[in-house]
Structure 1
Amino acid sequence: MSYIPPHKRNLKDPVRPSPVPDSLVPKFKKNIDFKSSSDKGNAIVHSGDFISKWFLIGSNGIEDEVPPYVKLVPLSSDSSERIDGVKSLVLMNNDLQRVNITTESRKEEKEKEEEERTRWLLLAERVEEDLVLAYEQAKRAMEDPHLLDSAKLRLVARFGKMIFYGRQAGGPVAEYSLEKTKRIFSTDVPTSFIQNIKSKAIPSHKFCIGEFKETYIVKALLNPVRYLVVNVSCLDKNLDMRLMLAGKRKIMALTEKEMSKIQELLDSATVDPNVKGRLRWPIRKTSSEYRILEVCHVKSTIYKNQTLRLRVRDTDRFNERYGTGEIERGVTLILQSVNTMLQEKDIERGCVMEMLRDVLGTIWDFFRCDAN
């Protein structure tokens, strides 16, 4: 199954949040998350010692070079989505024999799955040192109370797809360096992936429902500081993975008068299920000294087990600056136990490796929910 871009998925997966009941309208303001920032909008913020790695994992394990059977292809044959005027591309494994197991026996299929899982777990050895180093740098930054909330470091694993642009489709990728190719990580996943997670991965890993949230987010965003991003392109899978360590920054500069004006702006919003983002402002508010950058209506379900939190969300987003909107579905694993352990002093590397392998094993089980 080829990757379906968000704008096409809206048509094929018409799962739009249901209209807001009357009882929700007067209390939606309590569920508004206002994130304040400069007019730069959603610019990504990196620490001075930011670590970025990118791995490709295929049938031979972690690839040091792009295999010759991998090509860059458009998101879909009829996709018109472009970035900077160039059509968006994804990596595709063109050697079908490497991933076709329909003629194999069940025993052979199971053996192959175990081999793939073993190769995947080698990723722990590649990321351990950078992960420990990123935490050391983040903890030093947390000593400055004006920069970070010391309780808000988060380590997460996200599923999605690496999207490339600035290159032409076709031809072996090995002909040029992908490291110099512009790329983004899209966290939008197919509905089928979420359905399979709920029916397979959640029961097998003993997750239970922790809470359900419905939130309206108004962004003029003060973005988290990123300390580590590890992108993993899974050449034999339909989805990729991102491991990221980031820390929330404190808002220090808003006065009471500014907060009052912001609250006035929020109070003037009206819930409208017929508009993208599901919040609408009176026309007179468009001239406010505070400008709304983005509006999101998020419905998320949190699942928990002893070591992890799983967030499954539906986001109805509208970007006020560009007049664009989309419905996005995402799956995030919050690695609580690893995050807690790596913030302790004098941690043993052996414990880090053991817990990291356990987490990667869980992530691999989630990948198996991908309907290739």
Structure 2
Amino acid sequence: MAYIPPHKRHSKDSARNTRFIGLGAHDQFPSSVLLVPTFVESLKHRFVMKPLVLVNSYSATRDETISSTPSETISTTPWESVADEVWPELLSAFEIVRNMLESNGELDEVKPAIFARVGKILFHPNASVSLNSLLIDRVAETTLGQMKTTFYANTPSSYRENIISGVAPKIGFDLEEDKDMFLILLSDSTKPSNSNLYCKCRIKEDKKLELYKVEMNPVRLMIEDISCIDKNLDLRLALQTKRILTSLTDDEMHSIGNIINSAIIDPEVKGGLRWPNGKACSGDRFAVVRIWHTIAKKYKSTSLSLVARHAERFDFENAKGQASIEVYLKLKRLVSDLQEEKVETDSILDMFKDNLKMIWDHFLCCEQFYP
């Protein structure tokens, strides 16, 4: 059983589309599907009430799940249902990518990517939804549609180790590289508040940072959050573009370089970096907003790339840090084929379904995610 959770909403840089797959009569899930409160440390200051997660107290077999669902709302397998539902939105969003690529010229490099991230969809109760009714009554689409959601991508360390040592070699992924890098997010006073610069940095032998790429913050063109009730992890599918900046002036690069070169690697501080007083900015234009330190293993196959990483973040604006363990895939071949001038959409859709089947079979289970 799978569904793409409630409410069609628009954020500042994406359209989050929501559909349900596998509903019973009156837009309700089977009685075995429950909403259970959980605790997430990093979200405790943002929401008054504990978030809720969907769990299935009875794991039906594939045949039982399909036979209990109206035939017109689901195809032969959950991954095919998801693919068929998502595909029109993906094609529509990719038309925007084509226009961006055609209009970009040679100023900067625009790179699209389709991500499949694993994690858990959290539902946040509000004043219009009774928490008692959520926990007692059967779960309905209309009820879920009244709540905000968060996709929480932090997974257990045991899950990451299983992906690295078991899943990746089993399904034909080869280790491409171990990656230890810092990502420094800079604000730019000459740009809108959501137009930040992402500075990707390597660690040199002398323990200093080396800037090797500057990007604009990614633009998300499509997000689909899919709750996989018969699994214990959920799935996010997203299409986004990033713009690698090659048109920065020498003065701009010099100012950015001064901030990067002033950074001191310090494992004892949150985020792993600190700056001498006054060095985390350059004049009145650029200033450090947020930092990430990521240690990752990157794998590749003929059509996909896989990243299993530990990420430590620190936000300079609110002085809060967060660590997470994340696993995601990039659907490289799908993006490449969609960029072809003459697109054979049927064959690409079949490949998309194969990708989702592989994810469904190997990436959506872990020993324990939430109590």
Scaled to the shorter chain, the TM-score interval is 0.7 to 0.9
User: Which residue does 1:268 correspond to in 2?
Assistant: 262
Per the alignment, residue 174 of structure 2 pairs with 208
* 2:328 corresponds to: 332
Please report the RMSD computed on the Cα atoms of aligned residues, expressed in angstroms: 3.2
Which residue in the other structure is 1:104 paired with?
Answer: none
Q: How far did 1:314 drift?
A: 0.7
Letter in 2 for 1:87: M
Aligned with 1:206: secondary structure? coil
Give the TM-score normalised by structure 2. Answer: 0.74
Q: Does the 8 Å CA contact 1:197/1:369 hold for their aligned counterparts?
A: no
Aligned CA distance change for structure 1 residues 74 and 110 (closer, same or farther; 3 Å): closer
Alignment partner of 1:99 is 2:93:
no
Letter in 2 for 1:223: N
**Which structure's relative contact order is higher, taking Cα pairs within 8 Å and 6+ residues apart?**
1
> Cα offset for 1:312?
0.8
**For residues 1-372 of structure 1, what are the structure 2 equivalents within 5 Å?**
45-46=12-13, 50-56=14-20, 60=22, 65-67=27-29, 69=31, 70-76=33-39, 81-82=43-44, 84-93=46-55, 96=57, 98-99=58-59, 118-145=77-104, 151-167=110-126, 169-170=131-132, 171=134, 172=137, 173-174=139-140, 176-220=142-186, 221=196, 222-251=216-245, 254-285=248-279, 289=284, 290-372=286-368
**Structure 1: segments with no counterpart, 5+ residues:** 1-43, 101-108
Residues 176, 298 of structure 2: 8 Å contact kept: yes
Q: When the two structures are aligned, how many residues end up with a matched partner?
A: 313
Q: Sequence identity of aligned pairs in percent? A: 31
CA offsets per residue over residues 183-234 of structure 1, 9 Å max, x none? 2212211112112222332122111101111101111233211111111011
Matches of 1:147 and 1:191, distance apart in 2:
42
Measured against aligned partners, the alpha-carbon deviations of 1:296-321 in whole angstroms (never above 9, x if no partner) come to 11111111111111011111111111
Distance 2:324 2:267 in 1: 16
Question: Deviation above 6 Å: which 4+ runs of structure 1?
Answer: 61-64, 109-117
Gaps of 5+ in 2: 1-10, 68-74, 187-195, 197-215
In structure 2, the CA distance between the partners of 1:110 and 1:231, relative to structure 1 (3 Å rule), is: closer
User: How far has the Cα of 1:237 moved from its partner?
Assistant: 2.2
Distance 1:233 1:154 in 2: 22
TM-score when scaled to structure 1? 0.74
Q: Which amino acid aligns with 1:343?
A: Q
Cα gap change, 1:85/1:203 in structure 2, threshold over 3 Å: closer, same or farther? closer
